[in-house]
């Protein structure tokens, strides 16, 4: 059975871009008679809140995007992340990193265009004495192999990375103890029995790292389908800043079905831009019609 998921970070309100990915994730699961779980990715206590989580649940339901069960949110899952971390440590794959830019943002998912750098391995082979001489609390990195990892993406085709060259050893736990997105998402997708991950194309580059982690933890990786991003008519990426993504503003002049219809039409799922409910869309849903290129949206 297909098990899909909504995995929002309650660090803000849901916007049109999130809605687009969630709509496709929902239609994919519902049209296959599968199950959908909701998981709040509230790893970082500084940046997320229960208020935003409540608003996200409300907004999903406004558009008819329901879920079958809500699984424990990430802030309650530290023991499971500890266990995975200990396993990787036993495998000799974890080391402390004292570099000052040790990924303050590691807890949040790295989206396209955000600065991510390939770690040079500075702290990879420090001696115990060198480690003891460091004064600051370390972040913890996972060693990556000199090996190509391929993701057969359901929409984007094959995507591969030579982890050592394209990614580098990555942070799995921050210096303040907060686990990084990459580790938490893999532990949770495995625990929740997720078989299909549908999310924005901006997270495609995280997929090889996640497949690597699944293999180390001895769990099967899900199927990945990375969906296009929404662009404004002038070609720039829609952004929260411009307000063109704000759902409350849009709902002031359009019905939920009109918004869904515009998204479905832009995705290539329906032939005319007309109002449609999520249920009606699931009945005609077909991945082979969904565009893979980023989508220009007019509302």
Q: Residues interacting with ligand GLU, by CB under 6 A?
A: 7-9, 41, 109, 185, 199, 203
Query: Please, what is the minimum distance in Å from the beta carbon of residue 138 to ligand GLU?
Result: 25
Q: Pick between residue 9 and residue 196 the one whose CB is nearest to ligand GLU.
A: 9
Closest CA to 78 of 53, 43, 102, 106: 43
Q: Pick between residue 205 and residue 270 the one whose CB is nearest to ligand GLU.
A: 205
**Nearest-angstrom CA–CA distance, 3 and 250:** 30
Which residues are CB-neighbours of 224 under 8 A, at least 6 positions away? 151, 152, 153, 154, 197, 204, 207
**Nearest-angstrom CA–CA distance, 283 and 270:** 11
Q: Residue 230 has which token pair?
A: 């929404």
Q: Pick between residue 141 and residue 199 the one whose CB is nearest to ligand GLU.
A: 199
Query: Please, what is the minimum distance in Å from the beta carbon of residue 7 to ligand GLU?
Result: 4
Query: Please, what is the minimum distance in Å from the beta carbon of residue 58 to ligand GLU?
Result: 17
Query: Please, what is the minimum distance in Å from the beta carbon of residue 30 to ligand GLU?
Result: 18
Q: Pick between residue 124 and residue 240 the one whose CB is nearest to ligand GLU.
A: 240
Please calculate the CA angle 138-142-146 and round it to the nearest 5 degrees.
Answer: 140
Q: Pick between residue 12 and residue 64 the one whose CB is nearest to ligand GLU.
A: 12
Which residues are CB-neighbours of 289 under 8 A, at least 6 positions away? 267, 268, 269
- Residue 173, number of CB atoms within 10 A of its CB: 25
Query: Please, what is the minimum distance in Å from the beta carbon of residue 185 to ligand GLU?
Result: 5
């Amino acid at each position: 059975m297909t098990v899909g998921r909504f995995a929002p970070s309650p660090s803000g309100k849901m916007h049109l871009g999130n809605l687009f990915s969630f709509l496709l994730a929902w239609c994919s699961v519902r049209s296959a008679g599968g199950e959908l779980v909701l998981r709040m990715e509230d790893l970082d206590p500084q940046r997320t809140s229960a208020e935003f989580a409540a608003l996200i649940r409300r907004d999903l339901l406004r558009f008819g995007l329901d879920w079958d069960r809500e699984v424990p949110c990430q802030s309650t899952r530290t023991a499971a992340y500890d266990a995975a971390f200990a396993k990787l440590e036993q495998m000799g794959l974890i080391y402390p990193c004292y570099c000052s830019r040790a990924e303050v943002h590691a807890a949040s998912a790295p989206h396209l265009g955000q600065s991510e750098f390939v770690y040079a391995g500075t702290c990879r082979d420090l001696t115990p004495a060198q480690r003891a001489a460091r004064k600051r609390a370390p972040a913890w990195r996972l060693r990556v192999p000199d090996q190509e990892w391929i993701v057969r993406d359901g929409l984007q085709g094959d995507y591969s990375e030579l982890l050592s060259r394209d990614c580098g050893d990555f942070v799995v736990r921050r210096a303040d103890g907060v686990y990084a997105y990459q580790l938490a998402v893999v532990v949770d997708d495995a625990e929740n029995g997720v078989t299909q991950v549908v999310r924005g194309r901006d997270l495609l580059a995280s997929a090889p790292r996640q497949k690597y982690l699944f293999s180390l933890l001895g769990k099967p990786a899900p199927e990945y389908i990375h969906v296009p991003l929404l662009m404004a008519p002038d070609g720039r990426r829609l952004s929260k800043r411009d307000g063109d993504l704000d759902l409350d503003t849009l709902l002031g002049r359009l019905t939920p079905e009109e918004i869904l219809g515009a998204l479905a039409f832009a995705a290539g799922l329906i032939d005319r831009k007309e109002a449609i409910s999520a249920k009606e869309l699931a009945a005609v849903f077909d991945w082979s019609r969904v565009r893979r290129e980023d989508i220009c949206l007019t509302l």
